[in-house]
Structure 1
Amino acid sequence: MELDMCNQREIPLSYHLDFSERGYKVIRELGHNQEGGRITYLANVQKSHQQVVIKKFSIANTGTDWSGLKAYEREIKILQTINHPRIPRYVDSFETSTGFYLVQEYKNAPSLGVRRNFNPEEIKQIALSILEILVYLQQQVDPIIHRDIKPENILVDENLNAYLVDFGLTQTQKTTMTFSSLAAGTPGFMPPEEYLGYSLTQASDLYSLGITLICLLTSTNSVDVGKLVDQRNRFNLQKLVPQLHPCFQSWLIKMIERKWNHRYANAAVALAALKPIQVTGNATIRETLIAAIALRKRTTILGLAIVGMFAVAATTLILSQQGGTAQQLQEISQKPYI
């Protein structure tokens, strides 16, 4: 269910989608994914006046991938097995001569694909909300991997409650991938292990969420995410978002580590780590020390030597009660982590 609120438009009077036999009356178009052959509509349930989203899959674009399921069959299969208040629930599905239609609960919340400005504290709340959904998905008997987390697939209401939509690429962790389903996510948001053809893990969606948060923090559209990387194809957060607290920067860096086993193991671990973190402001001496060590340990094989170096520096700082060493630690922590 991809909602592009910028492209909302009334259905022309000359073009009537008549779903009255199915019990629905279309109100307007919500989004149009031309490349994927999908269109979403807002509609009323005629008997109850409840609003729903009807997602159309063009028959010509419903290729098969994992387990031999077509995109809409896979999405239905997943949605029918989950029940979370911030995942629009499955309502109905039907087929016509022009396509296949999936009906879902409507959430009155625009997607993050719509340009809106959030402050860092609000972005943290959105991150917590999405992580809670991922914890639920990953705690299923067969953990669920969304595979397409990006701003357009996250709806956020005025209370900063986030909703996760579009399960068309979703797979379960135990699923055996076929060649046609590899690297099927969105460029720029796909974790490296996906486009390299490796098995996905519960850390895979964390990478995509991390990139999404960077887009929000820098007010960058999804299509421009590639402009945020440096010459080494890395995100230099100290340069992109210098106002962030070093601990939040360190948390975010771990979310987007290239190697999945260097990220948080799963959403529950990432959620627990994020909750107590301060988002903006200056770090304490201890926080600066820890953040600097964490950043350096990811970029050099001399991690133990660096720990020793900072231990000596910290001891000197305590004994001298001078501000000079603290300033040096702060400067070290703000250097690019690459």
Structure 2
Amino acid sequence: MELDVRNGYQGDIPFNKYPDFSQHGYQVLQELGRNREAGRTTYLAQTIKTNQKVVIKEFRLTHAIADLSGVKAYEREIQILQQLNHPQIPRYLDCFATAGNFYMLQEYKNALSLGLQRKFEPEEVKQIAISLLEILMYLQQRVNPIIHRDIKPENILVDEKLNAYLVDFGLAQNQGEKMTLSSLTEGTPGFISPEEYFGYSLTAASDLYSLGVTLICLITHTRAGDIHKLINPEYRGNFQHKLSPKISPYFKAWLLKMVAHKRQHRYANAAAALTALKPIAAIGNGTALETLTAAVKSRKKSFVFGLATLGTLALAGKNLAIAQSAVINTQVLEASDRASLNSHLNRLQKTRH
């Protein structure tokens, strides 16, 4: 049997030690992953009658927290999944229980976890980002928007065509829903947003932070378990120095905006982030104007300033025609930013003469 590892766990339990689900109509093929602390194990199985592959998620109730929040985790996930119908979110299929354990069945996707040691080029990371943002748009544009709360490499599957799939909705909640005290300690430090880390309310921008950190892991080839090395004690990420100069200034600025410490400095939602990302080239040095714009966008403070009626730039004795345009930004520019911007524009204009 060919080993199909999704979550980086090699399934070292002997085949005859797998749970016997034959009375429920399923046969376990291999173990896909486990969370020992939470008492959860995920198996790849198939239906005995049709050989259709399914994913079975085991919840060991004996590991549940005393206040029953652990017992209710699977109920929360099932309730969320039953509301969803998206091709990139594995569907909920069924559930059953045995003595001390509860099992949830989901659709199987032939895709590998980003938690594995896999390397992607910047353009591939961009394609994965677009695929994930489309999922988040679906979640955020519902009548009752859903926040996933646990976006990280281990909870994202990617197939050979770079289509992404979002899994593990055990921590998901409707936007605006009040979090319990116990849920404040859940999630993965380094990937959860600063507002969740400090116990504040969540918005659509909260999942964007988690996605941004995940993408930075891919770009910088950083293991998810090492992401804490890029976070200081005040829970501020030091991501900029890790980003390769190979990526374009626009893409770098986009990534840094996704992981801005304050949520109001990020994109408001997945739709806004996707609109900004699509026209951006993932690699390349960019023009002087692109470099300037990207640098300004990556600053922590936002700004409002217009760039209009740009003429032509003379580069190496050749005139490069740049169409007149208006770039209107919707944030507040600090005095130092304005002075730097004006100085750079003056130098650009002098090159025309």
TM-score range, shorter chain: 0.7 to 0.9
Alignment of 1:17-32 (within 5 A): 17-32=19-34
- Bigger CA drift: 217-226 or 62-71? 62-71
Matched-pair contact (CA < 8 Å) for 1:130–1:164: yes
In structure 1, distance between residues paired with 2:180 and 2:68: 5
In structure 2, distance between residues paired with 1:184 and 1:100: 20
Structure 1 residues 225 and 316, CA, compared in 2 at 3 Å: closer, same or farther?
same
Name structure 1 gaps, 5 residues minimum.
323-338
In structure 1, distance between residues paired with 2:338 and 2:59: 55
Cα distance, 1:312 vs structure 2: 3.4
Alignment of 1:142-291 (within 5 A): 142-229=144-231, 233-291=236-294
Matched-pair contact (CA < 8 Å) for 2:6–2:157: no
Q: Residue type matched to 2:105 in 1?
A: V
In structure 1, distance between residues paired with 2:124 and 2:79: 33
In structure 1, distance between residues paired with 2:127 and 2:67: 35
Cα distance, 1:307 vs structure 2: 2.1
In structure 1, distance between residues paired with 2:290 and 2:30: 51
Is residue 317 from structure 1 mapped to residue 333 from structure 2 by the alignment? no
TM-score, normalised by the number of residues in structure 1: 0.88
In structure 1, distance between residues paired with 2:216 and 2:15: 41
Structure 1 residues 239 and 27, CA, compared in 2 at 3 Å: closer, same or farther?
closer
In structure 2, distance between residues paired with 1:313 and 1:14: 70
Alignment of 1:46-195 (within 5 A): 46-63=48-65, 70-195=72-197
Paired residue secondary structure (1:133): helix
Partner of residue 335, structure 1: none
Matched-pair contact (CA < 8 Å) for 1:62–1:72: no
Paired residue secondary structure (2:96): strand
Matched-pair contact (CA < 8 Å) for 1:11–1:27: no
Cα distance, 1:20 vs structure 2: 1.5
Whichever structure has more helix as a proportion of its residues is: 1
Q: Deviations over 1:192-250 (max 9, x none)?
A: 11011111110000000000011101111111012234798432424432221111111
Paired residue secondary structure (1:9): coil
Cα distance, 1:19 vs structure 2: 1.1
- How many positions carry a matched residue from both structures? 320
Name structure 2 gaps, 5 residues minimum.
304-331
In structure 2, distance between residues paired with 1:143 and 1:64: 30
Matched-pair contact (CA < 8 Å) for 1:10–1:27: no
Paired residue secondary structure (1:257): coil
Paired residue secondary structure (2:187): coil
Structure 1 residues 172 and 231, CA, compared in 2 at 3 Å: closer, same or farther?
closer
Q: Deviations over 1:243-282 (max 9, x none)?
A: 2111111111110011111111011110111001111111
RMSD: 2.4
Q: Percent sequence identity over matched residues?
A: 57
Cα distance, 1:308 vs structure 2: 3.9
Paired residue secondary structure (2:144): coil
Paired residue secondary structure (2:112): coil
Partner of residue 338, structure 2: 307
TM-score, normalised by the number of residues in structure 2: 0.84
Q: Deviations over 1:164-184 (max 9, x none)?
A: 000011111132211111131
Matched-pair contact (CA < 8 Å) for 2:239–2:256: no
In structure 2, distance between residues paired with 1:80 and 1:208: 24
In structure 1, distance between residues paired with 2:333 and 2:156: 40
In structure 1, distance between residues paired with 2:300 and 2:265: 11
In structure 2, distance between residues paired with 1:50 and 1:217: 35
Matched-pair contact (CA < 8 Å) for 1:183–1:190: no
- Bigger CA drift: 213-222 or 60-69? 60-69
Q: Deviations over 1:73-125 (max 9, x none)?
A: 00000000100001000000111113110000011111000001100000000
